[in-house]
């Protein structure tokens, strides 16, 4: 009787395991999306404005003077506790030096001129004015690959201003070069935000796809990080015949099976991930401790972005403190024992460009709302997360990126992972911190994409 019972239990256990495995690997059907959904104010007009307009960045005197006056009239900042550097957040003694630089030495007009060295445009997509840079290479002898570049929070297309020239300049040993479209996500930078709920990364991806079609690109490549990478991942999933290749510096699989693998891998970390990079994710206790320590802002912006937005909209000192602290930790998480907390891994003018753009456009609230929309319970969004992408994908993992997943997990989502690189340097804002490394990897990935499609001709 015991043998029979044991056999039944074994059969049930095996059957249960097979069912669970099937459910974890099951691919849902792709949802139907309204590709022309209106996000502008009011209802969609009969005739939509499809004009592409020139745009010029301007930090005008009125805004500059108001900003400086607000900073100078700030209340005294509370100093750090004894023996504390950046462990409690922004070191206000160090912040004072940045605020003084912002008001006295930061060249507002010169930085705007520097940003304007690229051609800037705006066009209305699904009711929203979308800002983008479009830079064409000066060459007639090479293949030109159209590349859409998408940033994350709290950035804008500014994040790519060092990389754009590198990508649009012919590189020795390559028979192609890139034509770059670097767009501001809706509600970020100089792009208009929506007054309607529901503008999540899937919907933003649709807007970005429609932008590329507006510009005449029926097929194109994408490079992206942070939330831009989520939008691009959804684009590759929904429009696999239009996205020719996807390069990401924040690769992430959000499929259910990937979460299970992450947990199972903690039992055998040396087998689950290259031992050289195991400490980036295991032990999970250390990883979750880091996430708990650094994700408070994420939880706030995913639940009540408008509340914190009031303070950040009204105070440039507060905005600088908030943004700098997050950019710092994402650039080097091991420097909390310093006054700068990691921000000195980035050029200060680049950081202040980012903050000034947020201030000038009053977009800290509209950009932060992506956290609330991106963590929505909308079943269609999570369905798209669970659908594997067949688009050839290249991943680069910089040392201090927020999250790290080994290739065996990434392939759950990106089944044609044609290139994967891990570096012992760099962080989340790769375009600002390590632009040459990022550009070099995009070129190498371009080779991998072309070989995948069987059209690469230069084997030198």
Catalytic residues: 226, 371, 428
Q: Which pair of structure tokens corresponds to residue 92? A: 């206000």
Q: How far apart are CA 408 and CA 320, in angstroms?
A: 39
Q: How far apart are CA 262 and CA 439, in angstroms?
A: 30
Question: Strand 120-125 vs strand 176-183: parallel, antiparallel, or unpaired?
Answer: unpaired
Torsion of CA 272, 277, 281, 285, to 10 degrees: 100
Q: How far apart are CA 350 and CA 102, in angstroms?
A: 12
Phi, then psi, of 196 in degrees rounded to 5:
-115, 140
Phi, then psi, of 193 in degrees rounded to 5:
-90, 165
**DSSP-assigned letter for residue 280:** G
Closest CA to 442 of 403, 370, 393: 393
Phi, then psi, of 450 in degrees rounded to 5:
-65, -40
Which secondary structure element, helix H or strand E, spans residue 131, and what is its range?
strand 128-135
Q: 201, 380 in Cβ contact below 8 A?
A: no
Phi, then psi, of 249 in degrees rounded to 5:
-100, 10
Q: How far apart are CA 376 and CA 355, in angstroms?
A: 27
Phi, then psi, of 347 in degrees rounded to 5:
-70, 130
Q: Which pair of structure tokens corresponds to residue 423? A: 């570096």
Phi, then psi, of 178 in degrees rounded to 5:
-105, 145
Q: What is the CA radius of gyration of the chain?
A: 23
């Amino acid at each position: 009787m015991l043998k029979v019972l044991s056999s039944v239990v074994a059969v049930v256990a095996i059957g249960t395991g097979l069912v669970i495995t099937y459910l974890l690997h099951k691919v849902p059907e792709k949802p139907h999306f309204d590709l022309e959904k209106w996000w502008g104010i009011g209802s969609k007009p009969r005739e939509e404005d499809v004009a592409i307009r020139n745009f010029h960045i301007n930090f005008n005197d009125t805004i500059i003077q108001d900003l400086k006056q607000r900073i100078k009239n700030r209340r005294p900042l509370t100093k750090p506790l004894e023996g504390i550097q950046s462990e409690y957040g922004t070191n206000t003694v160090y912040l004072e030096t940045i605020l003084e630089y912002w008001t006295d030495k930061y060249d507002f007009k010169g930085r705007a001129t520097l940003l304007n060295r690229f051609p800037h445009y705006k066009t209305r997509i699904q009711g929203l004015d979308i800002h983008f840079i479009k830079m064409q290479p000066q060459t007639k002898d090479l293949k030109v690959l159209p590349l859409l570049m998408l940033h994350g929070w709290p950035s804008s297309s500014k994040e790519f201003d060092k990389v754009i020239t590198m990508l649009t300049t012919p590189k020795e040993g390559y028979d192609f070069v890139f034509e770059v479209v670097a767009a501001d996500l809706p509600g970020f930078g100089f792009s208009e935000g929506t007054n309607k709920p529901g503008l999540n990364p899937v919907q933003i991806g649709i807007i970005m796809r429609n932008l590329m079609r507006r510009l005449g690109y029926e097929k194109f490549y994408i490079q992206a990080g942070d939330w831009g990478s989520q939008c691009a991942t959804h684009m590759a999933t929904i429009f696999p015949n239009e996205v020719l290749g996807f390069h990401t510096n924040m690769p992430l699989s959000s499929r259910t099976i990937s979460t299970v693998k992450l947990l199972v891998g903690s039992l055998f970390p040396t087998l689950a991930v290259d031992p050289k990079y195991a400490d980036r994710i295991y032990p999970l206790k250390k990883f979750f401790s880091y996430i708990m320590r650094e994700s408070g802002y994420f939880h706030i912006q995913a639940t009540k972005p408008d509340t914190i937005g009031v303070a950040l909209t009204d105070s440039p000192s507060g905005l600088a403190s908030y943004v700098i602290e997050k950019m710092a930790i994402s650039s080097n998480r091991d420097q909390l024992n310093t006054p700068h907390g990691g921000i000195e891994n980035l050029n200060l003018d680049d950081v202040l460009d980012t903050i000034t753009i947020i201030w000038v456009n009053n977009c800290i609230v509209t950009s932060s709302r992506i956290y609330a929309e991106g963590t929505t319970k909308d079943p269609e969004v999570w369905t798209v997360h669970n659908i594997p992408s067949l688009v050839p994908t290249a991943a680069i993992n910089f040392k201090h990126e927020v999250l790290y997943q080994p290739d065996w997990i990434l392939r759950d989502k990106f089944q044609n992972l044609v290139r994967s690189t891990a570096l012992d340097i760099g962080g989340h804002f790769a375009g600002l911190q390590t632009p040459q490394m990022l550009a070099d990897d995009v070129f190498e990935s371009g080779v991998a994409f072309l070989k995948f499609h069987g059209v690469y001709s230069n084997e030198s």
